Amino acid sequence: MARLRVAFLGPLASFSHQAAAEAFGKISASLLPQLSFADAFVALQNQEVDYAVIPCENSTNGSVVQTLDLLADRNDDYKDVKVCGEYYLTVHHCLLVHKGSYPSGWSGYDGSITKLYTHPQAWGQCEGVLSKYFKGVERQDVSSTSKGAEIVAKEPTEKSAAIASRFAAEYHGVDVLKENIEDRADNTTRFLILRNVLAARTAELDLGQPKATASDEQPNTHKTLISFSIDHASPGALASALLIFKQHGLNLTTINTRPSLKRAWQYIFFVECGRTLSEENMDAVVNALQDLQNVTESCRDLGTWKDQLSAQTA
Amino acid sequence: MARLRVAFLGPLASFSHQAAAEAFGKISASLLPQLSFADAFVALQNQEVDYAVIPCENSTNGSVVQTLDLLADRNDDYKDVKVCGEYYLTVHHCLLVHKGSYPSGWSGYDGSITKLYTHPQAWGQCEGVLSKYFKGVERQDVSSTSKGAEIVAKEPTEKSAAIASRFAAEYHGVDVLKENIEDRADNTTRFLILRNVLAARTAELDLGQPKATASDEQPNTHKTLISFSIDHASPGALASALLIFKQHGLNLTTINTRPSLKRAWQYIFFVECGRTLSEENMDAVVNALQDLQNVTESCRDLGTWKDQLSAQTA
C-alpha cells in the first residue's frame, strides 16, 4: 500500500504537527501541512489525503468553533468526511525569545518585552502568566504557535516573545525563557482524526493508538458525534431530540451549539455520546438517526470511534 | 430616586455603549464604561452600578465565551448577579479610515491598506469582505471596535483601517470607506441586562424595552437561564438533567457548554429555556432547580426575563 497521507494545520512544528506525528507514530505516514482547517477538509473530501488531524477542544479554553463550523458543513461541501478517531495531546506552552537575547534567563528578566505573538487560543490558556508579567503588552495573533516562534527567530532587534511549544522552539532555534506557562498542568487538546468514508484504503486501518486499559470503571468504549438542527418555532423539539439518544442507550457526554446561519437564533447542535459497544447496540446510531429525522430539520452521523480518554487519564 | 448607573464594556462609542444607550434610552441613566466584562460583573456584585449590559451572543459568530465564563462564576465571585433582561442590537460594520486618506472613496480604493484593527469577534462577522479584499493583510486585535476607530483617527500616515460602527466613526471623526461589510444583513448581537438581586431599587423597575407584540404565534413570553455541572463519571446524568426541564414545562431553546476547569472534560452547561408565564408555571424554575439538585453536582438559577425576540423579529 502506498504511504498514508495525513493532513494537519501547518506550519511545521505546530501543535497539530506534533499531534499528527504522535497519533501516526507507529505507521509510516507522510504528514502534510495545510494552510487552514478548511484546506484539510477539502483535501480529505477530494481524497487527496487519507486522514486529517484537527483540534476540536481544549480542556481549558473549550471548543474550537472553526472545527465545529466545518463539521456543521452548512453547504454540503464535506459530505463524506467523518470522525474515525481522537488523540489527546497535553499542551505545554513556553515563552520563547530570540536566541541569546535574554542570556540571564527568566530569573534575570527585566520586563522589557513589548510584543507577544501566539495563536488566539493560546492567550486564554496562559492568562495567569500573561496578566502577572505582561499586563498591557501588545498581543499579536498569528496563525499558529509555531509561526510566532518563527517570527521571534527572525527578529533579532525586537523585544518580542512567542508562546509556543518546546518542539517549536527546537525547530526554529529560539530560546525557552520560561516553560510551562499554561494556567493548568493538565491543559490538553483533543484532536479529531477524520477520514473520507468512501476511501477503501482507510476503512479497516488500525490507527495504532493507545488502547483503553482494562478497568472496572469503563463507562464507554466508543464515542459517536451527531449533528442536528431543529425548527426554532417548534417548542419541545430540542428536548425531544435529546431524549432520543437516551432511548437508544446513547449516553450524552457533551453538547455544542453553533448558529445555523440559515436564520438568526436557530442553531446546529453537536451531540457527543458514548456507549460500551455490544451486539445489542451495534445499530443504536442508525436507529437514533431514524428517530431524529422525525423531530429535527436535518441530522447527520459524524462518525463513531474508540474512546481514548480512559487510556489517557488512567 | 438617584440616577440609575448602567455599566457597559467601554470605551465610549463601542457597540456595548450603543446597546446600553438604546436599552436605557427611555430612562434617565448614567452610562459607565468598564475596562472589561469582569469589571462590569465586579461593579454589579459590589452594587456600584445598578445594571450591566453585556453581549452574550452574536447571530453569526455564536456565543461570547468570556460572558459565559463570568456567568459560570466558578469561584462564587458574582453570586448575586442575575439576568433581568435582554436587548437585540443589529450590528452594521463599516470599514473606517483616517479622515481624508481615501478621498475617492471605495470605488477608487487601490488596495493599499496594510493593517486592520478590530475586536476579535468582528473578524468572523466580516469574512466575505476580508477574504475578498484583504487577504493576507495584517490583523491586529483590539479591545473594542471603537478602539480600532480611535487608533485609525490618530494614525495619519499609516495605511490602516478599522472595522467598527458608523456610531464609532462619528464619535472619533474618521471616514467610512465602505459600509455594511458584515457577512449577513441580519447580523445581530444579543445583550444580557444584568442586575444584583439584592439591590432593592432595581427590583421592580420596568426597563422600558419594546414589548412583545400580540401574536397568535408567541411560543414563549419569558426566558430563563440555568447553569449546572454534572459528574463526568455518571452515565446518563446529562440526559436526566435535561429531561427535568421538559417535566416542568420549560422549553429548551439553547444549550451552551464551557469547561468546568475543575477537571478536564467536565463541563458547565448553560441551558436557556422559555415558557409562556402563567399562574400554573410561576414556580416552574424553583421546582426544576430542586429536581436538578438530585442529578447535578451544582446548579444555579441565573434569572428570568421577558423574551424580546418576538418583538424584534415581528
A135-154 residue pLDDT tens: 999 999 998 899 999 999 99
CATH number for the segment(s) B217-314: 3.30.70.260
Angle formed at CA B40 by CA B39 and CA B43, multiple of 5 degrees: 85
> What is the arithmetic mean of pLDDT over A246-251?
93
Question: Fold match between B1-90+187-209 and B94-179?
Answer: yes
What's the CATH class of domain B1-90+187-209? alpha beta
Check B264 against A235: CB less than 8 A apart.
no
> Are β-strands B138-141 and B94-97 bridged in parallel, bridged antiparallel, or unpaired?
unpaired
Distance from CA of A10 to the nearest CA of B (A): 16
pLDDT confidence of residue B216: 44
Q: Is A102 in contact with A26 (CB distance < 8 Å)?
A: no
Most confident of A186-190, B54-58, B310-314: B54-58
Give the residue with greater pLDDT, B314 vs A303.
Answer: A303
B63 touches chain A (CB under 8 A): yes
Q: What are the two backbone dihedrals, phi and then psi, of residue A9, each rounded to the nearest 5 degrees?
A: -75, 115
Q: In this structure, which CATH number among 2.30.40.10, 3.40.50.2000, 3.30.300.30, 3.30.70.260 belongs to the domain A211-314?
A: 3.30.70.260
**Domain range summary for chain B, segments of one domain joined by +:** 1-90+187-209, 94-179, 217-314
Give me the residues paired with residue A267 across strands. Answer: A259
* Alpha-carbon gap, residue B200 to B81, rounded angstroms: 13
User: How far is residue B307 from each of residues A262, A304, B208, B272, measured CA to CA in Å?
Assistant: 21, 38, 13, 11
pLDDT band at A34 (very low <50, low <70, confident <90, very high): very high
* Alpha-carbon gap, residue B172 to B157, rounded angstroms: 17
User: Considering only CA atoms, which of B183, B144, B143, B184 is closest in space to residue B164?
Assistant: B144
ipTM: 0.83
Neighbours of A129 (CB within 10 A): 17
Strand, coil or helix: A262: coil
pLDDT band at A213 (very low <50, low <70, confident <90, very high): very low
* Alpha-carbon gap, residue A222 to A228, rounded angstroms: 20
Give the list of residues 6+ apart from residue A24 with CB closer than 8 angstroms, or none: A4, A6, A31, A51, A53, A207, A208
A141 touches chain B (CB under 8 A): yes
> What is the arithmetic mean of pLDDT over A58-69?
93
Cell numbers for B231: 459528574
Percentage of residues of chain B with pLDDT beyond 90: 72
pLDDT band at A205 (very low <50, low <70, confident <90, very high): low
Give the list of residues 6+ apart from residue A5 with CB closer than 8 angstroms, or none: A29, A30, A32, A48, A49, A50, A51
Q: What are the two backbone dihedrals, phi and then psi, of residue B176, each rounded to the nearest 5 degrees?
A: -90, 110
Cell numbers for B139: 490583523
Instruction: Please identify which residue in the block is written with the cell numbers 469582569.
Output: B38
* Alpha-carbon gap, residue A222 to A279, rounded angstroms: 13
Q: Is B171 in contact with B164 (CB distance < 8 Å)?
A: no
Percentage of residues of chain B with pLDDT beyond 70: 93
Q: In this structure, which CATH number among 3.30.230.80, 3.40.190.10, 3.40.50.1970, 3.40.640.10 belongs to the domain B94-179?
A: 3.40.190.10
Give the list of residues 6+ apart from residue A125 with CB closer than 8 angstroms, or none: A58, A60, A61, A91, A93, A182, A183, A184, A187
Instruction: Please identify which residue in the block is written with the cell numbers 463599516.
Output: B94
A203 touches chain B (CB under 8 A): no
Q: Is B284 in contact with B275 (CB distance < 8 Å)?
A: yes
> What is the arithmetic mean of pLDDT over A254-265?
92
pLDDT confidence of residue B131: 95
Check B265 against A239: CB less than 8 A apart.
no
Local structure of residue B3 (DSSP, 8 states): P
Check B274 against A141: CB less than 8 A apart.
no
Set of chain A residues whose Cβ sits within 8 Å of the Cβ of B67 = none
Residue B313 pLDDT > 60:
no
Residue A155 pLDDT > 60:
yes
Residue B190 pLDDT > 90:
yes
Shortest CB distance from B188 goes to which of A140, A233, A264?
A264
Cell numbers for B55: 453581549
Cis upstream peptide for A219 (omega within 30°):
no
pLDDT confidence of residue B214: 41
* Alpha-carbon gap, residue B296 to B260, rounded angstroms: 13
Give the residue with greater pLDDT, B212 vs A8.
Answer: A8
Mean pLDDT for chain A? Answer: 89
pLDDT band at B212 (very low <50, low <70, confident <90, very high): very low
Set of chain B residues whose Cβ sits within 8 Å of the Cβ of A141 = 120, 139, 141
A219 touches chain B (CB under 8 A): yes
B242 touches chain A (CB under 8 A): yes
Cell numbers for A182: 499554561
pLDDT confidence of residue A133: 96
Residue B70 pLDDT > 80:
yes
Angle formed at CA A79 by CA A29 and CA A194, multiple of 5 degrees: 25
Residue A184 pLDDT > 90:
no
pLDDT band at A111 (very low <50, low <70, confident <90, very high): very high
Q: What are the two backbone dihedrals, phi and then psi, of residue B17, each rounded to the nearest 5 degrees?
A: -60, -45
Set of chain B residues whose Cβ sits within 8 Å of the Cβ of A261 = 60, 184
Instruction: Please identify which residue in the block is written with the cell numbers 483590539.
Output: B142
Residue B213 pLDDT > 60:
no
Local structure of residue A10 (DSSP, 8 states): S
pLDDT band at A204 (very low <50, low <70, confident <90, very high): low
Neighbours of B173 (CB within 10 A): 11
Check B242 against A245: CB less than 8 A apart.
no
pLDDT in tens, B103-136: 999 999 999 999 999 998 789 889 999 999 999 9
Give the residue with greater pLDDT, A106 vs B1.
Answer: A106
- The single-letter code of the amino acid at B165 is S
- DSSP class per residue in B81-136: EEEEEEEEEE---EEEE-TTSSTTTGGG--S---EEEE-HHHHHHSHHHHHHH-TT
pLDDT confidence of residue A310: 60
Total number of residues shown for chain B? 314
pLDDT confidence of residue A212: 39
Strand, coil or helix: B253: strand
Cell numbers for A100: 541569546
